[in-house]
């Protein structure tokens, strides 16, 4: 059975594992039917957690 010639560094192992941690951003559904990222202001309506926070010109 083959053996590695050199020890694999901790950084190389961590970089390989870090690629597994990447995942697609989750989106939240709004009451008006739109979707947006959670914990952020909805860019279309300017509403955050049921309150109007931004004045959005429609």
Helix (H) or strand (E) holding 15: helix 10-21
Residue 2: what pLDDT? Answer: 93
pLDDT at 11 over 90: yes
Angle, vertex CA 7, rays to CA 21 and CA 5, nearest 5: 125
Distance CA 3, CA 48 (A): 56
Q: For the chain, what are the domain ranges?
A: 25-58
Q: Which residues contact 30 (CB under 8 A, 6 or more apart)?
A: 36, 42, 45, 47
**N-terminal to C-terminal alpha carbon distance within the chain:** 67
Higher pLDDT, 48 or 16: 16
């Amino acid at each position: 059975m083959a053996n590695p010639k050199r020890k694999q560094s901790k950084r190389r192992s961590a970089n390989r594992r870090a690629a597994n941690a990447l995942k697609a951003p989750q989106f939240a559904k709004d009451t008006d039917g739109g979707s947006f990222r959670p914990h952020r202001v909805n860019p279309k309506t300017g509403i955050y957690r049921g309150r109007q926070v931004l004045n959005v010109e429609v």
